[in-house]
Amino acid sequence: MSNTPYRTALVTGASSGIGAAIVRRLSEGGIEVHALARDAKRLEALASDTGCIPHAVSVSDQAGLEALIAGLEVDVLVNNAGQSRTGNITNTTPDDIDALVDVNLRAVLQLTRLVVPGMIERNRGHIVNISSIAGHYAFAGGNTVYHTTKAGVHSLSQQLRCDLFGRQIRVTEVSPARVETEVFGRLIGDMAEAKKRFFDEYDSLLPEDIANSVAFAVLAPQRMNVSFMEVLPTMQVVGGLNFAKKTSAPG
């Protein structure tokens, strides 16, 4: 039995991977969890497993988000929904830029804007943003738009603490490195190939590792705000330096 003051949570991107694990973990912590994603079937399955309340809504659906929040007291908002794409700025498409900015950043800002007034009124709340190491480091092979949106989520997390200063509202950013989820399969359009290429030979994090990190912050005593957690697989480091030879420059 937990003594958290939080009664309800809203988790976006809850139909799979990290989001589904967070729903599971917070439900076990005694919080009523509202689970949001587009895939109604998977949400229903998660609901019958965990008792969460499913909402098949896209984070791109502004009216849908507004209608949802109007009827909810959200104590914990977990901004987790996210997408990625292959390529970088030299070969990205206008649609990919729009989709990533929309889901990874615009929706995070909009949802946060919608829940914060209720948190202020109740003087109780916790916003958890799932960013990525891509928001803090540059690395070759990463998608530039994805990196940029996640850097925005990092900046938002920092600025929010200033906006909410003096209130009992906490802001936590969890920044994972590689986690074994469907994100890589969606990225290359082939789950089996993604498993082979990204996971079979590497010791990655599991979704429950991130869910436990989120739960640590959410269930921590109220005096304590876990503001930032970078979570890496033990067998992964971030860093690297490249130097192109003079002869490699075109022209």
Q: Considering only 36-44, 68-76, 161-169, 189-197, which stretch makes contact with ligand NAP by CB under 6 A? A: 36-44
In the shown chain, the binding pattern of residues 200 to 239 toward ligand NAP, with x for contact by CB under 6 A and - for none, equals ----------------------------------------
> Which residues lie below 8 Å from residue 9, measured CB to CB, with a gap of 6+?
26, 31, 32, 33, 34, 74, 75, 76, 77, 78, 218
- Structure-block tokens of residue 170: 């906490």
- Nearest residue to 228 via CA among 176, 165, 184: 176
Task: For residue 44, state whether it binds ligand NAP (rule: CB under 6 A).
Answer: no
Phi-psi region of 213 (alpha: psi -120 to 50; beta: other; left: phi over 0): alpha
Instruction: Please give the positions annotated as active site.
Output: 146
Q: How many CB atoms lie within 10 A of CB 31?
A: 23
Q: What CA–CA distance (Å, rounded) separates 210 from 103?
A: 20
Q: Considering only 65-73, 77-85, 164-172, 234-242, which stretch makes contact with ligand NAP by CB under 6 A? A: 77-85
In angstroms, give the least distance from the CB of 37 to ligand NAP.
4
Q: Considering only 1-9, 31-39, 110-118, 159-167, which stretch makes contact with ligand NAP by CB under 6 A? A: 31-39
Task: For residue 15, state whether it binds ligand NAP (rule: CB under 6 A).
Answer: yes
In angstroms, give the least distance from the CB of 220 to ligand NAP.
21
* CB burial readout 37-56, b (16+ within 10 A) else e: beeeebbeebbeebebbbbb
Q: Which residues bind ligand NAP (CB under 6 A)?
A: 12-19, 37-39, 58-60, 80-83, 103, 130, 132, 176, 178-179, 181-183, 186
